[in-house]
Structure 1
Amino acid sequence: MKQKKAFKKFFTYLGLSLFIAFSLSLLYIFYPTLPDSIDNRLRDKLFTIRGEIPNTQNVVIIDIDEKSLETLGQWPWSRNKIATILNNLTQSNIGIIAFDMVFAEQDNSSPHSVFEKYGIKKENIPNYDLEFAQTIANTPTILGYQFELEKTDFVKKTAPEIPAIFIEKNKTLDEQFMIKAKGTILNIPLLQNNAYSSGFFNNIPDESGIIRSVPLVISYDDMIYPSLALEVMRIITDTNKVFVNYNEQGVSNITLKDMVIPTDRYGRILVNFRGKEKNFKYYSALDIYNNNFDKKELDGKIALIGTSAAGLLDLRATPFESVYPGVEVHANVIDNIIQGDYIYKAAWIDGANIAIIFILAIFVVLATTYTPFFVNPIIYLAVSFITLYSIYEILFTQGIVLNIFFPIITILLSSVFTTLFDYFYEIKQEEAIKEKFASKVSKNVMDKLLNDLHNSEFQAMEKEVTVFFSDVRGFTKISEQMNSAKELISYLNEYMEPMSNIIIKHDGTIDKYIGDAIMAYWNAPANVKDHADKAVLASLAQIESLKALNEQFAKENKPFIDIGIGLNTGLAVVGEMGSKGRSDYTVIGDAINLGARLESLCKYYDSKLNISNFTKEQLKEEYIFRFLDLVKVKGKNKPVEIWQIHGKAYINTEQKEELFSYHKAIELYKKQNFKDALDIFIKLQNNDMKTNKNIYKIYIKRCEEYIQTPPKNFTGVYEHNTKG
Structure 2
Amino acid sequence: MKNKFIKKTLIYSGISFILSIFLSFTYIFFPQLPESFDSNLRDSFFKIRGEIPNNENVFIIDIDEKALKTLGQWPWSRDKISKILQNLTNAGIGIMAFDVVFAEEDRSSPHKIFNQYNVKMDNVPNYDKIFAKTIATTPTILGYQFELEKDNENINKKAPQIPAIFVERNKNSEENYLITATGTILNIPIVQENAYSSGFFNNIPDESGIIRSVPLIISYNDIIYPSLALEILRVITDTKRVEVNYDPYGVKNIKLNDITIPTDRHGRILVNFRGKEKNFRYISALDIYNNKFDKKYIEGKIAIIGTSAAGILDLRATPFESVYPGVEVHANVVDNILTGDFIYKASWTDGANLAIIFALSLVVMLAITYTPFWCNPFITLIFLGGILYTLYYTLFTKGLVLNIFYPLVTIILAAIIATLLDYFFEIRQEEAIKKKFASKVSKEVMDSLLLHTNNNTFSATQKEITVFFSDVRNFTNISESMPSANVLIEFLNEYMDPMTDIIIKEKGTVDKFIGDAIMAYWNAPGSVPDHAERAVIATLNQLHMIDELNKKVRQDPRFKNTVKMSDKMGVDPIEIGIGLNTGIAVVGEMGSKQRSDYTVIGDPINLGARLESLCKYYNSKCNISNFTKEQLKGNYIYRFLDLVTVKGKSEPVEIWQIHDYDRDESEHKLYKVSKQKLKEELELYHNAIELYKASKFDEALNIFKEVNSWEDKTNKNIYDIYIERCEHFISNPPENFNGVFEHTTKG
Inter-CA distance 435–310: structure 2 relative to 1 (3 Å threshold): closer
1:571 corresponds, among 578, 584, 606, to 584
Match of 2:32 in 1: 33
Match of 1:330 in 2: 330
> 1:594 Cα shift?
8.3
Q: Which moved more, 1:239-248 or 1:524-533?
A: 524-533
Whole-angstrom CA distance in 2 between matches of 1:392 and 1:17: 25
Match of 1:291 in 2: 291
Whole-angstrom CA distance in 2 between matches of 1:345 and 1:90: 39
1:326-368 CA-partner distances (Å, limit 9, x unpaired): 1111111111110000011111111111111222222222222
Match of 1:697 in 2: none
Aligned AA for 1:72?
L
CA contact (8 A) 1:630 1:642 kept: no
After the TM superposition, which residues 118-133 of structure 1 pair with which residues of structure 2 at under 5 Å, given as runs? 118-133=117-132
> 1:144 Cα shift?
0.9
Match of 2:728 in 1: none
Aligned AA for 1:189?
P
CA contact (8 A) 2:205 2:211 kept: yes
CA contact (8 A) 1:509 1:524 kept: no
CA contact (8 A) 2:465 2:584 kept: yes
Whole-angstrom CA distance in 2 between matches of 1:60 and 1:467: 64
Inter-CA distance 300–532: structure 2 relative to 1 (3 Å threshold): closer
CA contact (8 A) 1:630 1:716 kept: no
Aligned AA for 2:67?
S
Whole-angstrom CA distance in 2 between matches of 1:715 and 1:320: 63
Match of 1:144 in 2: 143
Match of 1:364 in 2: 364
Aligned AA for 1:66?
E
Whole-angstrom CA distance in 1 between matches of 2:431 and 2:526: 22
TM-score (norm 1): 0.69
Query: Of the two, which has the highest radius of gyration?
Result: 1
Match of 1:263 in 2: 263
Inter-CA distance 111–168: structure 2 relative to 1 (3 Å threshold): same
> 1:125 Cα shift?
2.2
> 1:714 Cα shift?
12
Whole-angstrom CA distance in 2 between matches of 1:86 and 1:715: 86
Superposed CA RMSD in Å reads: 4.7
Whole-angstrom CA distance in 2 between matches of 1:582 and 1:621: 47
Whole-angstrom CA distance in 1 between matches of 2:604 and 2:284: 80
> 1:221 Cα shift?
0.2
SS in 1 for 2:403: coil
Whole-angstrom CA distance in 1 between matches of 2:434 and 2:447: 8
Match of 2:5 in 1: 6
CA contact (8 A) 1:143 1:199 kept: yes
After the TM superposition, which residues 10-29 of structure 1 pair with which residues of structure 2 at under 5 Å, given as runs? 10-29=9-28
CA contact (8 A) 1:572 1:587 kept: no
Whole-angstrom CA distance in 2 between matches of 1:159 and 1:442: 75
After the TM superposition, which residues 198-209 of structure 1 pair with which residues of structure 2 at under 5 Å, given as runs? 198-209=198-209
Match of 2:59 in 1: 60
Inter-CA distance 385–441: structure 2 relative to 1 (3 Å threshold): closer
State percent identity of aligned pairs: 59
Match of 1:607 in 2: none
Whole-angstrom CA distance in 1 between matches of 2:66 and 2:607: 80
TM-score (norm 2): 0.67
Whole-angstrom CA distance in 1 between matches of 2:303 and 2:520: 77
CA contact (8 A) 1:532 1:569 kept: no
Whole-angstrom CA distance in 2 between matches of 1:91 and 1:75: 25
Match of 2:73 in 1: 74
Match of 2:240 in 1: 240
Inter-CA distance 353–94: structure 2 relative to 1 (3 Å threshold): same
Structure 2, unpaired ranges of 5+: 470-495, 513-518, 543-578, 610-622, 656-691, 696-731
> 1:715 Cα shift?
12
CA contact (8 A) 1:444 1:509 kept: no
CA contact (8 A) 2:71 2:286 kept: yes
Structure 1, unpaired ranges of 5+: 470-500, 512-518, 538-565, 600-610, 644-667, 672-706
SS in 1 for 2:199: strand
Aligned AA for 2:172?
T
Inter-CA distance 627–246: structure 2 relative to 1 (3 Å threshold): same
> 1:439 Cα shift?
11
1:361-399 CA-partner distances (Å, limit 9, x unpaired): 222222222222222221222221121111111111111
CA contact (8 A) 2:445 2:598 kept: no
CA contact (8 A) 1:84 1:289 kept: yes
Whole-angstrom CA distance in 2 between matches of 1:715 and 1:57: 77
After the TM superposition, which residues 223-238 of structure 1 pair with which residues of structure 2 at under 5 Å, given as runs? 223-238=223-238
CA contact (8 A) 1:632 1:639 kept: no
Match of 2:552 in 1: none
Whole-angstrom CA distance in 1 between matches of 2:146 and 2:454: 73
Whole-angstrom CA distance in 2 between matches of 1:233 and 1:468: 70
SS in 2 for 1:570: strand
SS in 1 for 2:202: coil
CA contact (8 A) 2:582 2:604 kept: no
Whole-angstrom CA distance in 1 between matches of 2:35 and 2:300: 41
Q: Which moved more, 1:566-575 or 1:133-142?
A: 566-575
SS in 1 for 2:102: coil
> 1:117 Cα shift?
3.1
Match of 1:192 in 2: 192
SS in 1 for 2:61: strand
> 1:457 Cα shift?
4.6
Match of 2:429 in 1: 429
Whole-angstrom CA distance in 2 between matches of 1:80 and 1:714: 91
Inter-CA distance 6–574: structure 2 relative to 1 (3 Å threshold): farther
Q: Which moved more, 1:424-433 or 1:317-326?
A: 424-433
Match of 1:683 in 2: none
Whole-angstrom CA distance in 2 between matches of 1:316 and 1:112: 37
Whole-angstrom CA distance in 1 between matches of 2:296 and 2:444: 78
Whole-angstrom CA distance in 2 between matches of 1:713 and 1:291: 86
Aligned AA for 1:284?
S
Q: Which moved more, 1:437-446 or 1:35-44?
A: 437-446
> 1:142 Cα shift?
1.1
CA contact (8 A) 1:264 1:344 kept: yes
CA contact (8 A) 1:205 1:213 kept: yes
Whole-angstrom CA distance in 1 between matches of 2:28 and 2:118: 66
Match of 1:385 in 2: 385
Aligned AA for 2:87?
N
> 1:574 Cα shift?
5.3
Whole-angstrom CA distance in 2 between matches of 1:597 and 1:115: 93
Whole-angstrom CA distance in 1 between matches of 2:187 and 2:599: 88
1:143-200 CA-partner distances (Å, limit 9, x unpaired): 1111111124421111111111101110125221200000011111111111111111
SS in 2 for 1:239: coil
Q: Which moved more, 1:156-165 or 1:427-436?
A: 427-436
SS in 1 for 2:254: strand
Aligned AA for 1:94?
I
Whole-angstrom CA distance in 2 between matches of 1:403 and 1:468: 50
Whole-angstrom CA distance in 1 between matches of 2:580 and 2:339: 73
Match of 2:216 in 1: 216
**2:84 matches 1:85:** yes
CA contact (8 A) 1:146 1:200 kept: yes
CA contact (8 A) 1:510 1:521 kept: yes
Match of 1:306 in 2: 306
Whole-angstrom CA distance in 2 between matches of 1:303 and 1:532: 61
SS in 1 for 2:388: helix
